Amino acid sequence: MIFQTVDFLQVLAEIIGAILNFLKPIVSPIGSWMINWIEAVLRIFPKNDLALYIILFVIIIIIGAITNILWPGDKPPRFFEKKYKLIELEKEPEHVEYKTLFKKKPTEEFKKFGEEFKEPGEAYKKSAEEYEDF
Amino acid sequence: MGAGKNLIKGIIFMGIYIVITMVIPYFTFTWIKDLSDLGIPIILEQQEYESIIFWISAFGLLISSLAFFSYSSPKQSIRKGLFALLQILVNSLYIWSYKFSGAADLLFQFDASQYITGYLFLNFQNMIMVYLGIYFLTIVLKGYDLVDFIINREKIREKRYGISGGYEKK
């Protein structure tokens, strides 16, 4: 047998066995609880009627395909777009990043200044003079 | 990710689950049904072979279809979380159906000659119980994911559509 001839597999099997034995007192009661609800649910499932499962399979596939074609998740829903347009109008006129303000490489002093304003909107709260100093 | 890519991803994972939950178990049980080892014919005395195949096919179909729905859904969406949880629950039923169908208690009968006869009884019930206990943790994790997707729905959408603090990211 392959498990008895290869030492590594033997050791691995013993380690897994030890872990499972250690976990058994905790895991087994959960397992028996799982079995209780599973047995209750399995009573509902029809036996010897594979056609029903095939129909369910086809229905789930069709619903899944239609749902994911209609809402693939790469475009925001209409209500979401409207909400964010409203928020945009309420906020500052236009956001310009620091990069576009300065063509030269930013100095260390400027970088320190930038770190103070992690949120882009905060920069507008300061006066324009502070920007010019740099 | 577009609809086409989502569907391809779903089809690939559905195929993987069909192989794992239906094709491999089907061939394994068919193989052990008439197994010969060391020249001694070992006949799997399993009256419920057809029952095993039935439950494997039934739950295999459900798991594969749920896998298609789950894997073709957008990342971190509520429907992905919901169908992943359903898939795990049906997986639990599938695992236990091995016992239910009789596959957890296997009786092998040796019948080489009138002098060499005997039987081997394998009981996997305890092993399945431990496995289901560990599986419970997976259910908890999937449940947590679903709750997380529901609670942080706005943040996930903002991140997904590149909208932050009322501004569209450029």
Identity of the residue in B54, B74, B129 whose CB atom sits nearest the CB atom of A35: B129
| Cβ(A85)–Cβ(A110) below 8 Å | no
Mutation target among B65, B78, B160, B168 for the A interface, most CBs of A within 10 A: B65
| Cβ(B76)–Cβ(B160) below 8 Å | yes
**Interchain contact A119–B (C-beta under 8 A):** yes
How many whole angstroms separate alpha carbon B97 and alpha carbon B104? Answer: 9
The reported pLDDT for the residue numbered B47 is 58
pLDDT band for B166, please (50, 70, 90 cuts).
very low
User: Does ipTM exceed 0.90?
Assistant: no
pLDDT band for A23, please (50, 70, 90 cuts).
confident
How many whole angstroms separate alpha carbon B145 and alpha carbon B130? Answer: 24
The reported pLDDT for the residue numbered B167 is 46
The reported pLDDT for the residue numbered A56 is 93
Which of B 3-22 lie inside 8 A of A, CB atoms? 3, 6-7, 10, 14
pLDDT at B82 over 90: yes
Residue found by looking up tokens 């997986």 in the block: B91
| Cβ(A75)–Cβ(B162) below 8 Å | no
Least confident of A31-40, A76-85, B24-33: A76-85
How many whole angstroms separate alpha carbon B66 and alpha carbon A98? Answer: 48
Question: Which of B52-61, B102-111, B131-140 has the largest mean confidence?
Answer: B52-61
The bridge status of strand B117-123 relative to strand B105-111 is antiparallel
pLDDT band for A15, please (50, 70, 90 cuts).
confident
**Cα separations in angstroms, B91 against A40, B7, B15, B123:** 15, 22, 16, 21
- Residues of chain A with Cβ-Cβ distance to B69 below 8 Å are 60-61, 63-64, 67
The reported pLDDT for the residue numbered A71 is 83
Q: Please state the separation of Cα B64 from the chain's center in Å.
A: 8
Angle at B165 between CA B160 and CA B167, to 5 degrees: 80
| Cβ(B68)–Cβ(A64) below 8 Å | yes
